[in-house]
Amino acid sequence: MSNVPRLQLHNVSRGFQTGEARLDILQTTNFAVHPGELVALVAPSGAGKSTLLHICGLLDRPDSGTVLINGQDTTGLDDKDLSSLRGQQIGFVYQFHHLLPEFDALENVMMPQLIAGLDKATARDRAMELLDYLHIGPRATHRPAELSGGEQQRVAIARAMANAPGLLLADEPTGNLDPGTSDHVFQVLLALVRAAGVSALIATHNLALAAKADRIITLQEGKVVAKEPVESAA
């Protein structure tokens, strides 16, 4: 496996103007996620976790600094190229599943593959394989409204992994679930990410879940810093 970071932020700053006030959320921050590494992002509400994830996922651009995906500097890319890079290399899981309500679980997982140009049969096989891996194969023909919260999130995880991304970004993936379901969904997420050799950055408020990652980071004064060493991934 190449040692080039899957994700690298170099001197990234991002702020927002709200009326008269200027909020400097990220300030010349540096940060990398290496191949196969699982990083948990734990920071207080409003610290800038979603802002950071949106920049890492090429959904937002920094005011200054550079974002590299697999060593590729994304600064000069136009929206079309950013979108294509995102589709090929990055998977997203959100707090609320964001599945398409009118499509069933299988179709939701096939969708990113069809957008990427795969033929239907290949997309279906890959989607079914992921749903089976996440133990929701029997619910493949159910629409999101017919699934429990934990099942919806497992479908969302399968969708995020559909194009075999090198980098997975998750923003509070279990934030909407009860503790037992959170634990289960987080476990399957980690198992799948580890099995696929994917690098992941997962924002969570749940320290017990974060402790299962390889390292925990936080945001302090607009910078990404190590939170604490993780002694074991128990």
Q: Does the CA dihedral 48-51-56-57 come out positive or negative?
A: positive
Q: Kindly state whether residue 43 participates in binding ligand ATP, applying the rule CB under 6 A.
A: yes
Q: Kindly state whether residue 51 participates in binding ligand ATP, applying the rule CB under 6 A.
A: yes
Residue of 6, 49, 124, 159 interacting with ligand ATP (CB under 6 A) = 49
User: Residue 23: enclosing H or E segment and its boundaries?
Assistant: strand 21-33
Size of the site for ligand ATP (CB under 6 A): 12
Q: Kindly state whether residue 18 participates in binding ligand ATP, applying the rule CB under 6 A.
A: yes
CA pair distance 44, 23, nearest whole angstrom: 16
Q: Kindly state whether residue 217 participates in binding ligand ATP, applying the rule CB under 6 A.
A: no
Q: Kindly state whether residue 14 participates in binding ligand ATP, applying the rule CB under 6 A.
A: no
Binding pattern to ligand ATP, positions 177-216, x when CB under 6 A? ----------------------------------------
Q: Kindly state whether residue 50 participates in binding ligand ATP, applying the rule CB under 6 A.
A: yes
Query: Which is nearer to ligand ATP, 16 or 96 (by Cβ)?
Result: 16
Q: Kindly state whether residue 23 participates in binding ligand ATP, applying the rule CB under 6 A.
A: yes
Q: In this structure, are residues 169 and 200 in contact, taking their beta carbons and an 8 Å threshold?
A: yes
CA pair distance 66, 34, nearest whole angstrom: 17
DSSP secondary structure letters along 168-232: EEEESTTTTS-HHHHHHHHHHHHHHHHHHT-EEEEE-S-HHHHTTSSEEEEEETTEEEEEE----
- Shortest distance (Å) from residue 91 CB to ligand ATP: 19
Q: Which residues touch 112 (CB under 8 Å, ≥6 apart)?
A: 87, 159, 162, 163
Q: Kindly state whether residue 161 participates in binding ligand ATP, applying the rule CB under 6 A.
A: no
Under the rule (CB under 6 A), what is the footprint of ligand ATP?
16, 18, 23, 25, 43, 45-51
